[in-house]
Amino acid sequence: MSTILLLHSITRYLVLIALIGVIIQSLVGLLQKKPYGPLENKSGLYLFIFTHTQLLLGILLYFTSSKVIFSGASMKDSFARYWLVEHTFMMLVAVTLITLARITAKKLSDDSAKHKRLLIFNSLALVLIITAIAMSGRGFFSLPS
């Protein structure tokens, strides 16, 4: 197993933990009308960093992994199609949602609106990530073989 693949597999847990943490913080902040403070900002920053580290590792894997096969035949093989198109597309959308959540929430002046934006965008990203992991058939707690 390559080092990049192992790092990519381990980093997913950092992303998931940070993502769930930000979602919970946002939900609590929204329901309890809490101010958006330095703790929420720092949590969002860590999520942003972990997510983009994961993205960079994924891009490296995309062009170096034997699982990604660049040919027309890939579209007929569900395993090859998953790694070439489906996983990649869903994860890019999830990264985009997480990025937009952070960037647009920072520009909002109302704390409630910040919590709501983070809750909605990050929850959608979490659903996509869970769906993509489930579609891989490997499960959450498996490391690549």
pLDDT tens, residue by residue, 86-104:
999 999 999 999 999 999 9
Residue 127 lies in a domain: yes
Residue 118 lies in a domain: yes
Q: Give the residue, 75 or 98, on which the prediction is more confident.
A: 98
Residue 145 lies in a domain: no
In 3D, which of 4, 19, 34 has the Cα closest to residue 128? 19
- What does pTM read for this prediction? 0.90
**pLDDT band, residue 140 (cuts 50/70/90):** low
Return the HEC string of 29-84: HHHCCCCCCHHHHHHHHHHHHHHHHHHHHHHHHHHHCCCCCCCHHHHHCHHHHHHH
Number of structural domains (the chain) is 1
Residue 142 lies in a domain: no
8 Å CB contact between 8 and 91: no
8 Å CB contact between 48 and 98: yes
Residue 139 DSSP one-character state: -
Domain extent, residue 58, equals 3-136
**Cα torsion 102, 11, 26, 117: sign:** positive
Residue 85 lies in a domain: yes
pLDDT tens, residue by residue, 38-55:
999 999 999 999 999 999
Residue 25 lies in a domain: yes
pLDDT tens, residue by residue, 108-134:
999 999 999 999 999 999 999 999 988
22 alpha carbon, distance to own chain's centre: 12
In 3D, which of 140, 103, 106 has the Cα closest to residue 20? 140
State both tokens at 65.
């992994």
Residue 144 lies in a domain: no
State both tokens at 2.
């390559």
